[in-house]
């Protein structure tokens, strides 16, 4: 099986549920959940059954189209009020990935732009918009892949952190997309190093799984080993994803990303952030304003272990993301083009950053 053929999230053909590939079970079990209730879909996002900023956005679009389709009223005011309630509830699932609120806001704009139509017509338009978000995501990842591919040379060693792969998007991923493009072009000598990514192991469970299944030469590292492979000259370039980018280019991504960026700077290795323009949040001036999700201590002390691996009662700090300062970033690859510092003007030049 090639993971590129897996759908992270899709609407069932009869539009009765969301089919979500349960990523908490990978790589050992490939199971698709059929979820239709607002609570269970929110839980799937919170538990990282579906995860990765773009995939969360795609999921949110389908989710609200589905749950709004079940609002039983012909009265537009009642429909709008219930839609808004659902939207606000889903938006609380995860705070850092801006694609969640970006997609929900986009869906709400569809409602507001169609108030002259019937409730049934609005419901149809929501399904169309959700599908558009999904289809655009494939095209965006592909475009990022083409631009990132232009930065590669045969034989390169690429390091990535967490999973910004096909499993984190509708297809191709962002940080992995250049590798998939290279593979399509017949390049067989790229080497990818993926950090396991404590504590939820997205690198080990997801990136290693999907790249291996696609036939990529991938080597798994504990997070603490990145410095060593860089010092040995085995890494030529770093590609990572992002959950939210501020106007100045400061970037929130999976916890540990900023350490990789600091190492890359130390060893003189180019460090690129792969960022769909939907992940760039024009409302935030800099990274200090990015909300950082904190997750339960058990993810650090117990998850994946046969028994608890920390003393009972020890304090645990478990932020899910960190912010990499823009000064550590060589370039930000968007689907519209490659940006260099200063990022504010670079984003504006590509038409990214108009207030939403």
Active-site option among 137, 243, 250, 281: 243
How large is the angle between the packed helices 98-113 and 76-91, nearest 10 degrees? 170
**Between 192 and 242, whose beta carbon lies closer to ligand MRU?**
242
Out of 169, 248, 277, 278, the only residue in the binding site for ligand MRU (CB under 6 A) is 169
Binding residues for ligand MRU, total number by CB under 6 A: 19
**Between 119 and 196, whose beta carbon lies closer to ligand MRU?**
196
156 Rama sector, left if φ>0, alpha if ψ -120 to 50, beta otherwise: beta
Instruction: Give the per-residue contact string, 50-89, with ligand MRU (x = CB under 6 A; - = no).
Output: -xxxx-----------------------------------
Q: Does 277 bind ligand MRU (CB under 6 A)?
A: no
> How near is the Cβ of 100 to ligand MRU at its closest, in Å?
10
Give the integer Cα–Cα distance in Å for 242 and 327. Answer: 16
Question: Which are the contacts of 228, defined by CB distance < 8 A and separation ≥ 6?
Answer: none
**Between 76 and 138, whose beta carbon lies closer to ligand MRU?**
138
Q: Peptide bond preceding 199: is omega within 30 degrees of 0, i.e. cis?
A: yes
Residue 127: Cβ within 10 Å count: 18
Q: Does 320 bind ligand MRU (CB under 6 A)?
A: yes
Q: Does 174 bind ligand MRU (CB under 6 A)?
A: yes
H/E segment holding residue 101:
helix 98-113
Tokens of 353: 């950053």
- In contact, 299 and 199? CB cutoff 8 Å: yes
**Between 18 and 71, whose beta carbon lies closer to ligand MRU?**
18
Give the integer Cα–Cα distance in Å for 339 and 350. Answer: 9
Closest CA to 76 of 129, 105, 121, 115: 115
**Between 145 and 353, whose beta carbon lies closer to ligand MRU?**
145
Identify whether 243 is a catalytic site residue: yes
Q: Please report, as residue ranges, which positions from 221 to 260 form the binding site for ligand MRU (by CB under 6 A).
A: 241-243, 253-254
Out of 3, 48, 111, 159, the only residue in the binding site for ligand MRU (CB under 6 A) is 48
| Interface stretch with ligand MRU, choices 45-53, 100-108, 184-192, 338-346 (CB under 6 A) | 45-53
**Between 49 and 123, whose beta carbon lies closer to ligand MRU?**
49
With tokens 């549920």, the residue in question is: 17
Closest CA to 343 of 332, 355, 328, 354: 332
Q: Does 164 bind ligand MRU (CB under 6 A)?
A: yes
> How near is the Cβ of 126 to ligand MRU at its closest, in Å?
24
Question: Which are the contacts of 12, defined by CB distance < 8 A and separation ≥ 6?
Answer: 18, 19, 34
Q: What three-state secondary structure class fits 319?
A: strand
> How near is the Cβ of 189 to ligand MRU at its closest, in Å?
25
With tokens 């017509």, the residue in question is: 121
Out of 67, 101, 166, 202, the only residue in the binding site for ligand MRU (CB under 6 A) is 202
Q: Does 26 bind ligand MRU (CB under 6 A)?
A: no
**CA R_g for the chain:** 20
Query: Which residues in this chain contact ligand MRU in the complex, by CB under 6 A?
Result: 48, 51-54, 97, 162, 164, 168-169, 173-174, 202, 241-243, 253-254, 320
Give catalytic residues, as residue numbers. Answer: 243
């Amino acid at each position: 099986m090639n993971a590129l053929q897996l759908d992270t999230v899709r609407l069932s053909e009869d539009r009765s549920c969301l089919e979500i590939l349960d990523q908490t079970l990978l790589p050992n079990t490939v199971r698709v959940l059929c979820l239709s209730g607002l609570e269970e879909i929110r839980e799937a996002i919170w538990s990282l059954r579906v995860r990765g900023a773009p995939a969360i956005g795609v999921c949110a679009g389908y989710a609200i189209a589905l749950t709004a389709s079940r609002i039983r009223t012909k009265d537009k005011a009642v429909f709008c009020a219930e839609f808004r309630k659902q939207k606000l509830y889903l938006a609380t699932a995860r705070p850092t990935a801006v694609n969640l609120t970006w997609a929900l806001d986009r869906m709400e704009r569809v409602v507001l732009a169609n108030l002259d139509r019937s409730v049934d017509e609005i419901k149809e338009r929501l399904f169309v918009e959700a599908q558009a978000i999904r289809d655009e995501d494939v095209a965006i990842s592909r475009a990022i892949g083409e631009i990132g591919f232009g930065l590669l040379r045969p034989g390169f060693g690429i390091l990535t952190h967490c999973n910004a792969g096909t499993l984190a998007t509708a297809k191709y991923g962002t940080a992995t997309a250049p590798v998939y493009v290279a593979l399509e072009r017949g390049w067989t000598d790229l080497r990818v190093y993926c950090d396991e990514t404590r504590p939820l192991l997205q690198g080990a469970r997801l990136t290693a799984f999907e790249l291996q299944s696609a036939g990529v030469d991938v080597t798994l590292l504990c997070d603490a080993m990145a410095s060593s492979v860089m010092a040995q000259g085995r890494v030529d370039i770093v590609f990572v994803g992002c959950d939210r980018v501020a106007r100045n280019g400061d970037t929130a991504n999976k916890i540990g990303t900023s350490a990789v960026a600091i190492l890359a700077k130390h060893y003189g290795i180019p460090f690129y952030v792969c960022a769909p323009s939907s992940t760039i949040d024009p409302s935030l001036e800099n990274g200090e304003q990015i909300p950082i999700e904190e997750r339960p201590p058990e993810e650090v002390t117990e998850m994946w272990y046969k028994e608890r691996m920390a003393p009972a009662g020890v304090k645990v700090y478990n932020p899910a993301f960190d912010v990499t300062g823009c000064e550590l970033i060589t370039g930000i690859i968007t689907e519209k083009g490659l940006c260099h510092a200063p990022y504010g003007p670079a984003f504006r030049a590509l038409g990214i950053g108009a207030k939403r």
